[in-house]
Amino acid sequence: MSQPSREPELESGGGEAEDAREARADGRAPEPPSGGERDVAPAETPSNRRWRRARVALRVFAVLALLLLVLVYAGTDGLRGFGGRPSEATLARMKASPHFVGGQFVNQEPTELMKPGQWEATKQWVAGDEMRAPTCPLPIVTDAAARLAPPPPTGLRITWLGHSTTLIEIDGARILTDPNWSERSSPSRWVGPKRFHPPPLALADLPRVDAVLVSHEHFDHLDMETVRALAAKGIAFHVPLGVSAHLEAWGVPAAQIFEHDWWQRAAIGSGVEVVSTPSRHFNGRGLPLRVGTFWTSWSIVGPEHRVFFSGDTGLQEAFREIGAREGPFDVALLEIGQAHPSWGDIHLGPEGALEAHARLGAKRLFPIHWGTFQLAMHAWSEPPETLTALAERRGVSLVTPRLGEPVEPTRGDPSTPWWRALPPIAAACP
């Protein structure tokens, strides 16, 4: 049997090849890849895969970083929450202080911001099981405005409004310390330690205030929104050196700002003076490459009464000098909370507050800097409970009012351990 002819197929294939050659010659088709008629993608190597993944990760990181910057910018009012840089005039006043050494402010005594034991403190911060925030509402006096309407019969009345914010009425003058009415202790409206309770007294219900005292620039003591609201009332601000830069950045008129170095004093009316007195602390407001501001305590000296306000401070020998020069104090407002043994040089805690009280020679101790923000690792009610136990053994008279409760320290009203009705001391909320 004869085999079929394959010549037509060969002729057809040859014709197609000839057409392809003519098309390539005319520029109408690409040359075939060497080694064959089909394109073959090169194999992806492990290094190529790693580089591709790294590029994806970098793009994601860049997008997240940009988003974070946008949120920080928006949440801090265009970074204004961090404050401002000192002007040349302000910087000159700072540099003229004997406490400004080597480009920064220094304490009178050698001071460590973090003592040995930092690793243990870090572990406690991460894994501690303390009840650092209340689990039920704190008792608040809600009729403070009505109680503040008549003047204090004794001439001295103090209302604790949370943390280190107090309203001091002394010999006809009214003074507000470290005012903070904001929801958070933070430069941001959205993140940062949130307060345990609402302010006991609305800013709109404040009586006339003669002066605001600021101890230092940390966020829990110097709050932008509160400063702006008070500045609009025309109130004078007395601040340590350098803090004027923040106030000016927030629109406070220069005529309302009075800067102080230690031992400088100013009259605020009704025969009352405020005196910037030493403290042992540090500065910092979150932005690098900026000269830090000073820190201070305050002695408030009236014709009939005297009050000491610590701000934030560690134990210092200067308390003896303050007591000798500006005392005797009817009452000392001393920080007891948001402290830790590793921060012993820059915060008092309950034991340090009792020793400071003794060195000052004050008649009564009014604890502040607790009960509003979580800034340390202890249970929220541990500082006043420890203070009460120690004070009883040492015979120290305490003033521990509820939030928003005006008290007159010279009347000898008994201290009220109101925190004991709440967990973790009590088994459940009342």
Average pLDDT over residues 143-154: 97
Q: What pLDDT shows up at residue 217? A: 98
User: DSSP labels for 6-41?
Assistant: -HHHHHHHHHHHHHHHHHHHHTSSPPPPTTSSS--P
User: DSSP labels for 90-159?
Assistant: HHHHHHTSTTEETTEE--SS---SS-S-HHHHHHHHHH-----S-SSPPPB-S-HHHHHSSPPTTSEEEE
CA distances from 430 to 50, 136, 313, 384 (A): 60, 9, 35, 19
pLDDT per residue as tens digits for the range 364-379: 999 999 999 999 999 9
d(CA 344, CA 361): 21
Are 361 and 327 within 8 A, CB to CB?
yes
pLDDT per residue as tens digits for the range 301-354: 999 999 999 999 999 999 999 999 999 999 999 999 999 988 889 999 999 999
Confidence category of residue 72, pLDDT binned at 50, 70, 90: low
| Nearest-10 crossing angle of helices 349-360, 382-394 | 40
Q: What pLDDT shows up at residue 173? A: 98
pLDDT per residue as tens digits for the range 218-269: 999 999 999 999 999 999 999 999 999 999 999 999 999 999 999 999 999 9
Chain mean pLDDT for the chain: 89
Confidence category of residue 2, pLDDT binned at 50, 70, 90: very low
Q: What pLDDT shows up at residue 376? A: 94
Q: What pLDDT shows up at residue 40? A: 57
Confidence category of residue 139, pLDDT binned at 50, 70, 90: very high
Q: What pLDDT shows up at residue 211? A: 98
Domains and CATH numbers, the chain: 144-421 (3.60.15.10)
- Nearest Cα neighbor of 158 from 388, 369, 410 is 410
Q: What pLDDT shows up at residue 8? A: 37
Q: What pLDDT shows up at residue 286? A: 80
Q: What pLDDT shows up at residue 288? A: 81
Q: What pLDDT shows up at residue 126? A: 83
Name which residue leads in pLDDT, 15 or 266.
266
Q: What pLDDT shows up at residue 324? A: 98
d(CA 305, CA 326): 11
Q: What pLDDT shows up at residue 25? A: 47
Confidence category of residue 408, pLDDT binned at 50, 70, 90: very high
- Nearest Cα neighbor of 188 from 108, 296, 353, 73 is 73
